[in-house]
Each structure stands twice: as structure tokens, then as C-alpha cells.
Amino acid sequence: MSDSVYVVASKFNWNDPDTLNNLSKKYKGDWHYVFDQHSLETLLKNINPRYIFFTHWSWIIPKEIVTRYECVCFHMTDLPFGRGGSPLQNLIVRGYKYTVLTALRMEEEVDSGPIYYKKELSIHGAAYDIYKRVEALCWEMIGDFVRDNPQPKPQVGVAVNFKRRLPSQSRIPEDASLENVYDYIRMLDAPGYPRAFLEMEGYRLEFENADLIDGKLSATVNFIKK
């Protein structure tokens, strides 16, 4: 293992693509960025990183990678509360306005590993904007790792598990309040997510770009022929 080799693995780059270059200038080392599982596995045949940081990832990490390397992931709940899938959407439908971003060491059991850092995070606005804030906070934490080499501590408290939300759950409930409708639209308004929707005869109505001002909700509506 090399103390100056780092890997950042992310399915999306919500921020400026030069962020990694700026980080590598501030914290000297051999930095690598990968966007998919195959690229990660290929890269690890040739390097032995100090950390692998997973900032937004959709693939299951093979056991041999998790056990061999110090793998760090970032989760948008105050663990052990909120283990599991769709953390942002599960928080918003429960009425949360703020959360923390937790940096934890990956283990075989999902979101069960020991904790390095927790930092406050606002979850107001559209999902895309929230994920940009998450990514910025991830980069900040990654700098903390390189500078401080923190030791993780076991999770404390009762585990509460979230279930990954299904596309069918993006349907806006008929009895939803105006604020609930706004939350449904904004929590799914990001690339790669199924938009909040309603159905009428012959059409599916998908919503994005929502605003709720003075009791009035506005949004972009796309009519999709069934």
C-alpha cells in the first residue's frame, strides 16, 4: 500500500471536472478517478491505494476489494439511522430538512461500518442541487482524510433501515398536500432518477423544476404518450 496513492470512484461528477486536479495540487499524491466498476477493477491491478473514496456509486463492491483496501463511502444520514437505499428521498418523504453526511469505512454489510466523520447537510432545493452540495462536502472530507488519516469509530445507536424506493413510488399521491407535491418533484429532480409523475388517460405527466412560493406551486410538465 502506498500512502500517497488515492482513488476517487464516482458514477457522477456533479461539480467542476477540475475539482480532482485542484485537490491533487493541494494534497500531493498520485490521484485517480474512475466512473465505473470495470475501470476500478482494472486500475487496482496496477496500483495499491491508501484510500478508495466512493462518492456516488451504484455497483456492488466485490468482497475482495472491500477487505483488501480501506474503502470509504459517504451516506446522507446520521448512521446507524437510515442505512440502505434512497437516503435522500426517504428523508424528504419523512419531512426532514437537514441531515448529516457520514463518511464510513465500507464493510460487507451495507452502511454498517465504523464512522470517520459526520458533517451537517441541508436538503432543501432540488435533488440535483443537493447532490452538488454532497459532492462538494465529499471533496472537503477527502481533504480531511489525506491531511489527518483519521481512525474510524464503531456506530452507536439502534439501526434504522431504509428501503430503496421503486420507480412506481415516484407517483404523486392523490391526497398529497401542495408541500408534499413539491417535495415529490424536487427529491427526484436529478439526472438518473425517475421523475415524479401523475397519470391521466393516455398520458404520463412528469414534473421537474418545481418552485413553491407564497402557496403557489409551479413546475415544468412533460406529457408522455403511453
Q: What is the pLDDT of residues 149-185, one digit of tens each?
A: 999 999 999 999 999 999 999 999 999 999 999 999 9
Is the pLDDT at 147 greater than 70? The verdict is yes
Indicate whether 25 pLDDT > 70: yes
Residue 66 CA to residue 167 CA, distance in Å, equals 29
Between 18-22, 29-33, 53-57, 127-131, the lowest mean confidence (pLDDT) is in 18-22
Question: Residue 200 belongs to what H/E stretch?
Answer: strand 196-200
Amino acid at 17: P
Q: Which three cell numbers stand for residue 158?
A: 439502534
Distance, in Å, from the CA atom of 178 to the CA atom of 91, rounded to the nearest integer, reads 18
- Let me know: does 187 contact 89? Beta carbons within 8 Å: yes
Give the residue among 102, 110, 57 at the shortest CA–CA distance from 76: 102
Architecture of domain 5-162: 3-Layer(aba) Sandwich (3.40)
| Mean pLDDT of the residues in the chain | 92
Helices (H), the chain: 19-26, 37-43, 63-68, 87-93, 127-148, 178-187
Q: Given this model, what pLDDT does residue 27 score?
A: 81
CATH topology of domain 167-225: Methionyl-tRNA Fmet Formyltransferase; Chain A, domain 2 (3.10.25)
CA 96 to CA 120: how far, in whole Å?
13
pLDDT tens sequence across 51-69: 999 998 878 889 999 999 9
Q: What is the mean pLDDT of residues 122-128?
A: 97
* Choice among 54-58, 83-87, 143-147, 193-197 with the minimum mean pLDDT: 54-58
pTM of the model: 0.91
Write down the pLDDT at residue 16: 56
Q: What pLDDT shows up at residue 11?
A: 82
Q: Where are the domains of the chain?
A: 5-162, 167-225
- As a whole number, mean pLDDT of residues 65-92 equals 96
Q: What is the mean pLDDT of residues 26-38?
A: 88
In which band, very low, low, confident or very high, does the pLDDT at 22 lie, cut at 50, 70 and 90? confident
Give the mean model confidence (pLDDT) for residues 194-222: 96
Average pLDDT, integer, range 83-94? 96
